[in-house]
Amino acid sequence: MTNEKLQQIAETNVAERKEYDYELNVCMALGCISQHSDRLKAALIEEVARSGKRCHVRQTGCIGPCAVGPLVAVSPTGTLYGNVQETDVEAVVASLGGEPVKRLETHLQHYFEGQQAIVLENSGQIDPEKIDEFIGRNGYQALMQTITQMASQHVIEQISKSGLRGRGGGGYPTGLKWGTVAKAVGTQKFVICNGDEGDPGAFMDRSVLESNPQRVIEGMAIAAYAVGADKGFIYVRAEYPLAISRLTVALREARRGGFLGNNICGTKFAFDMEIRIGAGAFVCGEETALIASIEGLRGQPRPRPPYPAFAGLWGAPTLINNVETFANVAPILRKGPEYFAGIGTAKSKGTKVFALTGKIANTGLIEVPMGMTLRQIIFEIGGGIPAGHKFKAVQTGGPSGGCIPEQHLDLPVSYESLIGMGSMMGSGGMIVMDDTSCMVNVARFFMEFCMTESCGKCTPCRAGTAQMFNLLTKICDCEASHADLDLLIDLCDVVKNTSLCGLGMTAPNPVLSTLRYFKNEYLEHIENRHCPAGVCASSRKPAIQRMVTA
Amino acid sequence: MNAPIDVKTLIIDGVDVSARADQTVLDVARENNIFIPTLCHLDGLSDVGACRLCLVAVKNSPKLSPACVLRVEEGMEVVTKSERLLHYRQTILQLLFAERNHVCSVCVVNNLCELQSMAQSQGVTHVRFPYRNPKLQVDASHERFAADQNRCILCTRCVRVCDEIEAAHVWDVMGRGIDSRVITDLMQPWGDSSCTSCGKCVNVCPTGALFDKSKVGSSRPKNPDFVPYLNMMREVR
Amino acid sequence: MSKVKLATVWLDGCSGCHMSFLDMDERLLTLSHQFDLVYSPLVDCKIYPELVDVALVEGAIGSVEDERKIRRVREHTTLLIAMGDCAVTGNVPAMRNPFCLFPILERAYHENASAQQQTPSELVPALIEKVRPVHEVVEVDLYLPGCPPSAGTLFSVMKDVLAGTLPNVTGLTRFGA
């Protein structure tokens, strides 16, 4: 593969796309497929053939507003149809070149207006299984440019200058991590992509892998070049079979195109990668547990230091980054770090992909610049709270995060601001809650998750989360006392400070966060034996032993 | 002849101490008669930093670090005792007691149990947490030994000694979180497993989870000190 | 100086702690002038008094009767001492907890009974599902682990308590001592 050849493929693909009068892009990411968008696509192809119109029906990745799927995007008009059924196929095809089908039109200007697509710029625009379409939209240009013209140190400098921080939740400066691995001593180095995405309510990484896997491959290859690795692994949770199959196709195409393997793009750089599939453990999203899993061992974290950058996979220096982090690499190198650094806040640069779920009108995937306020995200882009209910809180960071109440909705979203509020950015899951949610029950839900996902290695997390869960259940059942609440709070402190890994250390966060802003709900359960949201089974009987007679 | 190893100086509990660069804070503390509580650590076995009893505070570090895996560094200032650390240690011990069914009065290692004496040394007189009372099994299928899950604290010493010293790897951990159990082979009864009956696991088990049936009532049912000697004897000169 | 009103109570226990108490032997006599034993299985008193200064509670809470008793004890006592492992941790009586109550009663009164199989229901207090240590039901002021705590330990503790101080027991005793 040479630069000329790459340009040629791009130009050919762009020209090919222009040969059609229209394009019907059918979302075939998991959300819409669950609504049979695959059958919809087949029906559209048939109908187009029948109509004789020069229209290309394409499967694409996630278009965004999953709540109104199955989605069909019409080009060049830019019309977006939602809730499209097989019975609508005739009308859709008939409307090409004329007035759009009114009843299918989505009116989501506000949804798309505030967004800025960097990670998702090809999502919904290309067929994820056709590498040429990716190349047609500047795919692999960054890799070509990087390995033929830049020294690896320079690549790292560019990433550092951009201000990119780990998108998996930790927010660690990516350039710094790359620099550390590059400097680490070792004959073999590895690059690992963490696609475990275990947070309940998070599907950002899944979407990227389903919609534009080549972007991640490109990012990993550039990273490998920068740090001096020749082998990579992409660890995807087993619960994402579509992502895994799309990735498998993408790897095959990348190798065939000369973007992976030996002599990449005609240089001496060699890099290839394997997919490793998870086995249902949230804890394997923790980097040392993930490494143990790849090594074939029980998925348990290891004490750090030593950090994976120095001694990771099989003891070798290992770079491990999240899917979204790698997806940001190519645009940064292609457009220059200043472009990326020009978006966002002082310490949180670039954009962030969020998965909006819960009690919100426009559930789906969004990408916004850092610094946008929560109010904008939830009420403008998200369309606010449906069915006449009132906003109560938004949970960010999954089971490691916390909830933000109404009074802090004007908070600009950034790593620092969310931590300051007792939550964290996390991987990007944003769960919106309204007045029908009981915050104690929410804390209990996340604690149950941590308890069942705890690996069991260290005592505070293994036994502590179980005790905290029991205490929260007691509070929800309106059978707890103030002493129980004090015990819960103390235990939160112990588990937070003595656990071995992030799972245990952050398991108390939802409890501490809901206590910070919604203590009245806890007290209502304890003192008045009543659940204000009407969710928990209220109990009026005194808290004594249930008696059993013969 | 090996390359000379660096020497470091550090401060533990206000006392200046010296150490080899490859030593852990726990090693150095013990050399200087500074007591740091441990349960999952055993001289001669690899360290896992799992029980969290040995957590110490290091100056300028926001997080506590497990002394058993913490490598010494020049100028490090370590504090091994404080009210906060004591509270954490007591809580961890209480969590262990409440996790399974530990009935000291009827246990084979009553008076000779590391968990029991650790509770005493750390001032644990009662358990603040409700006892979970899980239903757990006893495996007495082995001719000489028995495994009582009710007394296991998941220190994994048995797993490590069987893997690293005996090299049979009969013991391992099954399940996740609070449902974790140590099992023999692929959850076969101990008596049917590939166990070599060497007794190492029984000797290193800190509680009465693994015990020698013939030593019930003995004043010295366990002898965990053999491991460093075995390692020494196996070293290549 | 007025005598300390001392009470001892045994709930779901084996009375071993009381035996240990008596094992103080002649040392008990050196203390006896300081207290009045106002309620105890060892003396002839049927009703727990209105005002007790120190109560030594042996045994866990295993029946509705134990629960009723301990609440009365707590209400009318200034210093409640949980004496022995059963009171402090549940200990042996709590070994029935992993099993459901029903199969236990079945095994005891039906499977293992050669005649007149029936689970007692009259006069005998109903058992509660899980045996609990004292502090899970009422507030405890001092914990004395041990099975039983030795006579020496009890003597040392009693001396301090009768003098008005709360001793640190960790050097004296432990679980299963």
Over chain C, what is the mean pLDDT? 94
Backbone phi and psi for residue C158, each to the nearest 5 degrees, phi listed first: -65, -40
Contact assignment for A459 to B154 by CB distance below 8 Å: yes
Torsion of CA B108, B114, B118, B124, to 10 degrees: -20
Residues of A in contact with B156 (CB under 8 A): 457
Q: Flag whether residue B5 sits within 8 Å of chain C, measured between CB atoms.
A: no
Residues of B in contact with A298 (CB under 8 A): 172-173
Contact assignment for B176 to A458 by CB distance below 8 Å: no
Q: Which of A254, A277, A275, A281 is nearest to A265 (CA)?
A: A254
Report chain A's terminal Cα–Cα distance, integer Å. 82
Averaged pLDDT, B81-91 = 98
CB A283, CB A400: distance < 8 Å: no
Q: Report the gap between the CA of B111 and the closest CA in chain C (Å).
A: 7
Q: Please write the tens of the pLDDT for every residue from A278-335.
A: 999 999 999 999 999 999 999 999 998 899 999 999 999 999 999 999 999 999 999 9
CB C161, CB C167: distance < 8 Å: yes
Q: Please write the tens of the pLDDT for every residue from B123-138.
A: 999 999 999 999 999 9
The subunits that touch chain A, with at least 3 C-beta pairs less than 8 Å apart, are B, C
Strand stretches in chain C, DSSP E: 4-10, 35-39, 52-58, 61-63, 77-83, 127-132, 142-144
Q: Which of A438, A35, C133 is nearest to B103 (CA)?
A: C133
Q: How many CB pairs under 8 A join A and B?
A: 97
Best of B131, B138, B150 to mutate (most C CBs within 10 Å, chain C)? B131
Backbone phi and psi for residue A18, each to the nearest 5 degrees, phi listed first: -70, -15
Residue in A544, A546, A549 nearest the CB of C121: A549
B232 CB-contact burial (10 Å; exposed 0-12 / middle 13-18 / buried 19+): exposed
Could you tell me the CA-to-CA distances from A385 to A271, A379, A396, A425 in Å, in that order? 47, 8, 17, 22
Q: Which of A279, A282, A235 is nearest to A446 (CA)?
A: A282
Averaged pLDDT, A74-92 = 94
The helix, strand and coil proportions of chain A, stated in percent and rounded to the nearest 5, come to: 45, 15, 40
Contact assignment for C174 to B120 by CB distance below 8 Å: yes
User: Does the pLDDT at position A159 exceed 50?
Assistant: yes
Lookup: tokens for A24: 């019907």
Q: Flag whether residue C108 sits within 8 Å of chain A, measured between CB atoms.
A: no
Contact assignment for A547 to C126 by CB distance below 8 Å: yes
- Phi/psi region, residue A117 (left: phi>0; alpha: psi -120 to 50; beta: rest), is beta
Lookup: tokens for A309: 């950058």
pLDDT score recorded for residue B219? 82
The helix, strand and coil proportions of chain B, stated in percent and rounded to the nearest 5, come to: 30, 15, 55
User: Does the pLDDT at position B10 exceed 70?
Assistant: yes
Residue in A459, A470, A491 nearest the CB of B51: A459
Residues of A in contact with C126 (CB under 8 A): 547-550
Q: Flag whether residue B117 sits within 8 Å of chain C, measured between CB atoms.
A: yes
Q: Report the gap between the CA of C128 and the closest CA in chain A (Å).
A: 5
Contact assignment for B126 to C90 by CB distance below 8 Å: no
Residues linked to residue A539 through DSSP beta bridges, in sequence order: none
Q: Which residue has the higher pLDDT, B227 or A155?
A: A155
Residue of A nearest to C71 (CA): A544
Residue position matching structure tokens 């895996």: B69
Residue in C67, C120, C128 nearest the CB of A548: C128
Q: Which of B185, B205, B220, B101 is nearest to B145 (CA)?
A: B205
Contact assignment for A494 to B175 by CB distance below 8 Å: no
Q: Flag whether residue C100 sits within 8 Å of chain B, measured between CB atoms.
A: no
The Cα B170–Cα B195 span in angstroms is 6
Residues of C in contact with B136 (CB under 8 A): 98
Residue in B52, B87, B129 nearest the CB of A459: B52
Q: Flag whether residue C58 sits within 8 Å of chain B, measured between CB atoms.
A: no
Helix axes A152-162, A323-335, angle to 10 degrees: 100
Confidence of residue B5 (pLDDT cuts 50, 70, 90): confident
Please state the separation of Cα A54 from the chain's center in Å: 36
Q: Please write the tens of the pLDDT for every residue from C28-63.
A: 999 999 999 999 999 988 899 999 999 999 999 999
Angle in degrees, CA A332, A337, A343, rounded to 5: 90
Residue of A nearest to B50 (CA): A458
Contact assignment for C119 to A546 by CB distance below 8 Å: no
The Cα A519–Cα A521 span in angstroms is 5
pLDDT score recorded for residue A547? 36
Averaged pLDDT, C111-134 = 92
The Cα A17–Cα C12 span in angstroms is 84
Q: Flag whether residue A542 sits within 8 Å of chain C, measured between CB atoms.
A: no
Residues of A in contact with C105 (CB under 8 A): 550
Residues of B in contact with A281 (CB under 8 A): 176
Q: Which domains does chain A have, with CATH numbers?
A: 17-107 (3.40.30.10), 138-341 (3.40.50.11540), 351-434 (3.10.20.600), 439-549 (1.20.1440.230)
Q: Which of A485, B99, B128, B123 is nearest to C88 (CA)?
A: B128
Confidence of residue B121 (pLDDT cuts 50, 70, 90): very high
For the entire predicted model, the pTM comes to 0.94
Q: Flag whether residue B132 sits within 8 Å of chain A, measured between CB atoms.
A: yes
Q: Flag whether residue B172 sits within 8 Å of chain A, measured between CB atoms.
A: yes
Averaged pLDDT, A162-185 = 96
Helices (H) and strands (E) in chain B, counts: 6, 10
